[in-house]
Amino acid sequence: MHSKKLISLLLGGAMVLSLAACTPSQTGESSSPSPSVSASPENTPAAGASYTAGTYTGTAAGKNGDVTVEVVFSDTAIESVTVTEQSETEGIADPALERIPSAVVEGQTLAVDTVAGATITSEAILTAVADCVTQAGGDVAALQTPVENEGSGETLSYEADVVIVGAGAAGMNAAVEAAQSGLKVIVLEKGATIGASNGAVAGGPSACETVIQEQEGQEVSVETLFNYMYNYSHSLSNAALLRNVLSVSGETINTMVEVGVGMYLRPDNYGAGFRARHGFDESGEARFAPMKEEVESLGGQFLLETTGEEVIMDNGAAVGVRASQPGGVTVEVRAKAVLVCTGGYLGNEDMIHEHFGNVTVNPLGNTLSDGAGINMVVDAGGTLDRNWSIIANEFAGSNHKGGGWSFGANQNFSYAVYGGLMVNREGERFFNEEVIATMALSEGGEATLREGLYYSVIDQAYFDACREEGIYSYLGSPENWYVGKMTLDGKLLDQNEAQLQEAIDQGWAWKADTIEELAEITGLENLPETVAEYNAMCEAGKDTQFYKDPVFLAPVSEGPFYVFEYEPSAWGTLGGVKVDSHLRALTADNEPIPGLYVAGVDAGSMYTTPYYSNEGAALGLAMASGTWAAKEINSYVSGN
């Protein structure tokens, strides 16, 4: 998934950066504008710049680790920028790694637009180059100052049967289904690649009656999966819609396999009682590449780095989308139907706060999904449903002070999902911690989202055991902790001690010889009483407060003691537009808006709060909803 690659962009002299926008006549080709620079070289802040000639090295934090660049300067210019070390996500970061260095050299500027979908990587490169500029005696502030640029003012016009906003799980499957049905398809994607979405990197979808299940001898019927999910939702999700989407989930997977997407069947890690979750052989751009090729072979078109902004309405019906590209280019696509599937609102802090309060939700997924698609539909007359939640991190806690969480993050984030003592900001228990150890994705995530900040409290014995034998063994290898057995058996936090000081220095971990001292330095004023009561319950073998399984009653009694502060983190968001069983956007009067469809996590009515307890539910429904929406659109366009 990650690769170390050398990207050498030795570009001498300064050239005017041109916009490589697709024209309407280039049907079947992708539009992928280059990052725009603020002005032509002769009019940049760097005109007349002065450097100490030589080669310099700079490093900055990227998405998955440090990004290192080598910059060569002459006395008056940036001669070349080379990314020499990086571990960014292949297929997602590639456009930034390839294009940001060239844009810096071509424009002789640091005022370069970041690449959509690879913002963190883009910013890391620019920060590292800025460090090199400083070393070479250059004026960083001048290079970062944009020059007024009114943009091209160009408008590109297109026509299609259906325009799809978003090339994620729903959009790609909708595009394949629509194109195979004979519709002319145009897909607008905000990212620089089709690998930028959550669907391109997520673990895998839940589905039923697939060819892969059949090959494995693992039958999962529509009835089984529907009953499991709808019963869990307690009727909060739209039953008819859920049934419709699940009914085409097998067809969706089968079509993906037919066009060349490599898939397999995953184990039942969360005890659903059936193997519905599938996995992918590839991640990033390579995952959906066969689907893109299929759509393009049938005359479909992808416009990359194209941000949907407005649904074009005519007499109450959706007839197209107005969008934008870098450089001030406007894109208008006139179509007989519009499908919006932009992946939720994980990148929109205001929407997060509106629905969950002023809590920090550390994003694990794609922050390009900023609620714009949802707002587009609402502005076109749609209304919101009431199923607002997150797809919580099942692997660990998180904290923005520690840079969020990733698979290579500080191991001391992990106690958040182990079922031990957890308290709120007053130092009091607030729920049955067993829930987060068994259902971290759904109910456990919901409980911690409610608190916003929560704290794991452990003693030295617990801390050592996690490093030396693993939590599953330390708790007695309980057979009834199914998730622990499947995901944590043999997992050691072998770096927790080595990484502790970093967590302390960052301000989300504390260590003290007594609980009283911990309470004082953390401000968790009721912690001594809570720990005393908890230890008494551990000794008695019964949780008389929240009735936690005794398996998880590990005492906090052997000093020194530790407290770790966690915030919620999420792979994606749930909640969005109210839709009917045909995935048509509804008005506040429950009337469908002609020609306007919504799929994926933008479609609030498919999902529930908390998130479904079966793995891969969000991705599976998103993919299959794309297929279902395309079928409905085909009927609408053909008049059937």
Report pLDDT for 527.
98
Q: What residues contact residue 550 under an 8 Å CB cut-off, 6+ apart?
A: 541, 542, 543
Are 190 and 299 within one domain? Answer: yes
Q: Quickly state the pLDDT bin for 12 (edges 50, 70, 90).
A: very low
Strand-strand pairing, 422-423 and 389-392: unpaired
Which domain CATH number covers 44? Answer: 3.90.1010.20
Question: What average pLDDT score do residues 106-115 get?
Answer: 90
- 534-578 pLDDT per residue, tens: 999 999 999 999 999 999 999 999 999 999 999 999 999 999 999
Neighbours of 407 (CB within 10 A): 10
Report pLDDT for 5.
35
Report pLDDT for 581.
98
The yes-or-no verdict on residue 170 having pLDDT over 70 is: yes
Q: What percent of the chain has pLDDT over 90?
A: 85
Measured between alpha carbons, how far is 584 from 132 in angstroms, rounded to an integer? 53
Question: What average pLDDT score do residues 372-377 get?
Answer: 98
Q: Quickly state the pLDDT bin for 32 (edges 50, 70, 90).
A: low
Which domain CATH number covers 359? Answer: 3.50.50.60
Give yes or no for a contact between 129 and 81, defined as CB atoms under 8 angstroms apart.
yes
Q: Quickly state the pLDDT bin for 418 (edges 50, 70, 90).
A: very high
Higher pLDDT, 37 or 483: 483
Are 492 and 594 within one domain? Answer: no
Report pLDDT for 7.
36
Are 461 and 547 within one domain? Answer: yes
Which domain CATH number covers 522? Answer: 3.90.700.10
Report pLDDT for 612.
96
Q: Alpha-carbon Rg of the chain, whole angstroms?
A: 26
Are 417 and 453 within one domain? Answer: yes
Farthest CA pair distance, the chain: 78
Give yes or no for a contact between 196 and 372, defined as CB atoms under 8 angstroms apart.
no
Are 112 and 177 within one domain? Answer: no
- 231-269 pLDDT per residue, tens: 999 999 999 999 999 999 999 999 999 999 999 999 999
64 domain-assigned: yes
First and final C-alpha spacing in the chain = 44
Amino acid symbol at 5: K
Domain end residue (candidates: 101, 123, 144)? 144
Are 552 and 486 within one domain? Answer: yes
65 domain-assigned: yes
Q: What percent of the chain has pLDDT over 70?
A: 92
Are 556 and 528 within one domain? Answer: yes
506 domain-assigned: yes
The yes-or-no verdict on residue 76 having pLDDT over 80 is: yes
Give yes or no for a contact between 293 and 261, defined as CB atoms under 8 angstroms apart.
no
277 domain-assigned: no
Question: What average pLDDT score do residues 396-416 get?
Answer: 95
Report pLDDT for 557.
97
Are 330 and 194 within one domain? Answer: yes
Question: What average pLDDT score do residues 596-615 get?
Answer: 96
Report pLDDT for 108.
94
Question: What average pLDDT score do residues 107-111 get?
Answer: 92
Question: What average pLDDT score do residues 8-18 get?
Answer: 30
Give yes or no for a contact between 391 and 367, defined as CB atoms under 8 angstroms apart.
no
pTM over 0.75: yes
Are 188 and 49 within one domain? Answer: no
- Triad 204, 205, 206: Cα angle to 5°: 130
280 domain-assigned: no
Query: Quick one: residue 290, left, alpha or beta (phi over 0 = left, psi -120 to 50 = alpha)?
Result: alpha
Please state the domain count of the chain.
3
Q: Quickly state the pLDDT bin for 11 (edges 50, 70, 90).
A: very low
What per-residue string of b and e applies to 608-623 under the rule 16 or more CB within 10 Å gives b?
bbbbbbbbbbbbbbbb
Range of the domain at 11: 7-144
The yes-or-no verdict on residue 481 having pLDDT over 90 is: yes
Are 401 and 510 within one domain? Answer: yes
Q: What residues contact residue 25 under an 8 Å CB cut-off, 6+ apart?
A: none
Higher pLDDT, 41 or 174: 174
Query: Can you list the positions of beta strands (E) in 446-526?
Result: 454-459, 509-512
170 domain-assigned: yes
- Listed residue (447, 418, 436, 419) closest to 359, CA to CA: 447
The yes-or-no verdict on residue 81 having pLDDT over 90 is: yes
Whole-number average pLDDT of the chain: 91
Are 522 and 494 within one domain? Answer: yes
Measured between alpha carbons, how far is 394 from 339 in angstroms, rounded to an integer? 31
Domain end residue (candidates: 80, 113, 144)? 144
The yes-or-no verdict on residue 620 having pLDDT over 90 is: yes
Question: What average pLDDT score do residues 422-426 get?
Answer: 98
CB-facing half-sphere around the CA of 354: CA atoms within 13 A: 11
The yes-or-no verdict on residue 17 having pLDDT over 80 is: no
CB-facing half-sphere around the CA of 421: CA atoms within 13 A: 29
344 domain-assigned: yes
Are 376 and 523 within one domain? Answer: no
607 domain-assigned: yes
3-state secondary structure 312-359: EEECCEEEEEEEEECCCEEEEEEEEEEEECCCCCCCCHHHHHHHHCCC
Q: Which residue has the tokens 């708790």?
A: 475
In sequence order, which ranges of 188-238 are alpha helices (DSSP H)? 211-216, 222-233
The yes-or-no verdict on residue 43 having pLDDT over 90 is: no
Report pLDDT for 63.
82
